[in-house]
Amino acid sequence: MTNTKTNKKWSVAEIYSRFGIFIILVIAVIVASFLSDAFFTTRNLSNIIRQNAVIMIIAFGSQMVLITGGCDLSPGSVCALSGVISTMVMVSTGNPVISLVVGILIGAFCGFINGLVITSCGIPDFIMTLASQFICRGAVLAITQAQPISGFDESYTVFGQGYVGPIPVPTIILILVLIFYWVLMNRRRFGRYVYAVGGNTDAARASGINTKKVKTQAYLFAGAAAGLAGVILMSRMNSGQPNGGEQYEFDAITAAIIGGTSMNGGTGKVYGVVVGALFVGVLLNIMTQMDVSAYWQKIVKGLIIALAVIIDVQVRKTRKA
């Protein structure tokens, strides 16, 4: 009798972990379509994907860090620093490709420093990345004197505002990053190492995996993703905004957690991040259309994070039962 009950619980947990986020997204879309006639239009749906491209790209890096058992609170500030420096390079050189590369490299460097200090000094991820959040935000404000950077060539705006046929360039970049990330996590040895480190660090180390290197590389990837997102964001805003990307780290973490990535590490699917980010995007979109206050939107996002973590804990308990 006990075994039957245990198997039933496991089945429910497994079903939720595999299909729960899809069910939630479908319900959100259906409710949104009833609340607003403008929701189910091609233009609005395209805008949801385009506007959330930045969050999704950051969320890929946040998920990788979470899977290793870490937590990154710096992407929003890294996004701003990388994006603003990228616009400054654009003003100086007039070359959008160089500006893009510099933005990504700045982000990657910030992520590398995070990972290096965390793994070398044993500082908790939360503390180090919180410090990085303040350092990067302070640095970009100091560099710009809190003034936006403008006056760059229109060729730079292609990253955030351009189209290839009917498809927005940010969507194309997102798809390319998604493919790269999926291959990295599902078809490469590094991806298996990431899951192994988050699942059981001691066991991974005993099996010969350089856990410090893997974790540092995860933070480097997260930083590079934030850097790329910063370029897209500043391009979309048509100026280098030192206050850009504020709280994007929490939106990214929310997307990852809602998508089934565990805060305890070792668990998370790439498609979950995409669906989780779309859910957050749909929710914010419909609240904006209904003129819901920005204060209440923050409250809703906070409740979503809390609920997602509670569900994750309960699912893990059920699996162990």
Q: Distance of CA 196 to CAs 41, 129, 205, Å?
A: 43, 22, 9
pLDDT in tens, 22-76: 888 888 888 888 888 888 888 888 888 888 899 999 999 999 999 999 999 999 9
Which residue shows structure tokens 């997204």?
25
Give the predicted TM-score (pTM) of the model. Answer: 0.91
Burial of residue 51, with CB atoms counted within 10 A of its CB: 0-12 exposed, 13-18 middle, 19 or more buried:
middle
Report the Cα 133 to chain-centroid distance in Å: 15
Predicted local distance difference test score (pLDDT) of residue 13: 57
| Neighbouring residues of 29: CB distance < 8 A, sequence distance ≥ 6 | 282
pLDDT in tens, 245-301: 998 998 899 889 888 888 888 988 999 999 989 988 888 888 888 888 888 888 887
Q: How far apart are CA 107 and CA 83, in angstroms?
A: 9
Instruction: Indicate the SS3 state at residue 168.
Output: strand
Structure tokens at 80: 């701003």
Query: Do residues 39 and 286 touch, judged by C-beta distance below 8 A?
Result: yes
Query: Do residues 69 and 200 touch, judged by C-beta distance below 8 A?
Result: no
Whether the per-residue pLDDT at 18 is higher than 80: the answer is no
Query: Do residues 256 and 63 touch, judged by C-beta distance below 8 A?
Result: yes
pLDDT, mean over the chain: 89
Query: Do residues 67 and 261 touch, judged by C-beta distance below 8 A?
Result: yes
Whether the per-residue pLDDT at 185 is higher than 80: the answer is yes
Q: Is 291 left (phi over 0), alpha (psi -120 to 50) or beta?
A: left
Instruction: Indicate the SS3 state at residue 163.
Output: strand
End-to-end CA distance of the chain: 14
Give backbone dihedrals phi and psi of 285, rounded to 5 degrees, phi first: -60, -45
